[in-house]
Amino acid sequence: MEKNWIRRLLLWPLVAALLAVVASAALPERLTPVGRTVGIRLESDGLVVVGFEETRSAARDAGLKMGDTIKRVNGEDVDSCERFKMLAAAAGGEPLKLELLRDGKTVEAVVQPEQDGETYRLGLMLRDGMAGIGTVTFYDPDTGLYGALGHGVNELQSMVLLPLAYGEILPSQVVEVQKGEGGAPGILKGAFDVEERLGEVDANTCHGIFGKADEALSDDAPISVASAGEVHTGSATILSNVEGDKVESFTVEITKLFPAGQDMGRNLLLTITDPRLLQATGGIVQGMSGSPILQDGKLIGAVTHVLVDNPAQGYGIFIENMLESCPAYCEAA
């Protein structure tokens, strides 16, 4: 009996190793790096609490917190701020029973609105979606899958990952660049066409947004995908769209690598060395997140963050870590 237990225990490392091989085999070996900006429109799954009135707030007094997601009001689903206002008005000043999602757990709260003349106030600010531009990192011509940003879309006040109900990517053009300076990050200002869709956003994760494109997002040929262990310090390039809809290649220098455990979209530190990009943007600016990073002919990662005090420098995520956050590839594993 004892020997059987020993055999079983000795088998566990082998089983774990086999599972790891299966999981890694599901990740694609070749992808097309893209580098084009797209409009990103997301609708939240519930309403995110983004703030309270400074003086008096019945909602804050009832225990609501920044980043809470309101799912139901008096038993009714809410999917927009207008729907919330309608249900609150219909209550006529009576207490509102709210069902919230907080840190993955369901919480209930009862809010007694405060009368203000002929109206009632909750002292509550909500968000039901977000829109902006970002950069597509890769497109998989075999499946139509794409990934963008290299980091998640967070609600700006609470910094909570926006819970996704529906999203789409749209054609865009960069119409203006606000250059980055020390202490003031720059930004790409874009215009996007709300009448034409390029694809759906199926997942908003801490390592990027993912979905399936309605059409090819690039005509370029796919290239090999590098593992984290293949990435090294030294010269590299990024693909970025900082004017109109034109994607260009710019030189960078990877100056430092970080252990895989210190993730959060900061696996490598890079410095923009291309004088054309420094002239155009001052370095890395908002909207460039997701710009694919290439080294030794392989796709190695994506730009994720800028150093506020030095916009010529920023962080990137290993493409391996980004792909492992894509639900479609995880399901395939």
Angle at 296 between CA 267 and CA 188, to 5 degrees: 55
Average pLDDT over residues 103-121: 89
pTM: 0.86
- What confidence category does residue 262 fall into, taking pLDDT thresholds of 50, 70 and 90? low
Average pLDDT over residues 249-254: 98
Using the predicted structure, report yes or no on whether residue 3 has a pLDDT greater than 60.
no
Residue 158 falls in which region: left (phi positive, over 0), alpha (psi -120 to 50) or beta: alpha
Q: What percent of the chain has pLDDT over 70?
A: 89
Q: Which pLDDT does position 185 carry in this prediction?
A: 86
Q: Which pLDDT does position 20 carry in this prediction?
A: 36
- What confidence category does residue 194 fall into, taking pLDDT thresholds of 50, 70 and 90? confident
Using the predicted structure, report yes or no on whether residue 293 has a pLDDT greater than 70.
yes
Angstrom distance (rounded) from CA 327 to CA 333: 10
Angstrom distance (rounded) from CA 66 to CA 55: 16
Q: Which pLDDT does position 210 carry in this prediction?
A: 98
Quickly list DSSP for 143-158.
T-EEEESSS--B-TTT
Average pLDDT over residues 94-101: 94
Both structure tokens of 322: 């980004």
Assign 3-class secondary structure to 44-65: EEEEEEEEECCCCCHHHHCCCC
What are the residue numbers of the active site?
151, 274, 289
Both structure tokens of 12: 């566990």
Average pLDDT over residues 297-309: 95
Average pLDDT over residues 160-177: 93
Provide the mean pLDDT of the chain.
88
Using the predicted structure, report yes or no on whether residue 89 has a pLDDT greater than 80.
yes
Using the predicted structure, report yes or no on whether residue 14 has a pLDDT greater than 60.
no
Q: Which pLDDT does position 303 carry in this prediction?
A: 97
Q: Which pLDDT does position 159 carry in this prediction?
A: 73
Using the structure block, give the residue that is written with the tokens 């809010």: 111
Angstrom distance (rounded) from CA 305 to CA 308: 9
The answer to whether 204 and 269 are in contact (CB under 8 A) is: no
Q: Which pLDDT does position 120 carry in this prediction?
A: 86
The answer to whether 109 and 100 are in contact (CB under 8 A) is: yes
- What confidence category does residue 260 fall into, taking pLDDT thresholds of 50, 70 and 90? low
Q: Which pLDDT does position 332 carry in this prediction?
A: 53
- 203: CB partners within 8 A, 6+ apart: 164, 209, 210, 211, 326, 327
Using the predicted structure, report yes or no on whether residue 110 has a pLDDT greater than 90.
yes
Q: Which pLDDT does position 315 carry in this prediction?
A: 95
Q: What percent of the chain has pLDDT over 90?
A: 74
Q: Which pLDDT does position 77 carry in this prediction?
A: 94
Of 185, 65, 137, 72, the closest CA to residue 318 belongs to 137
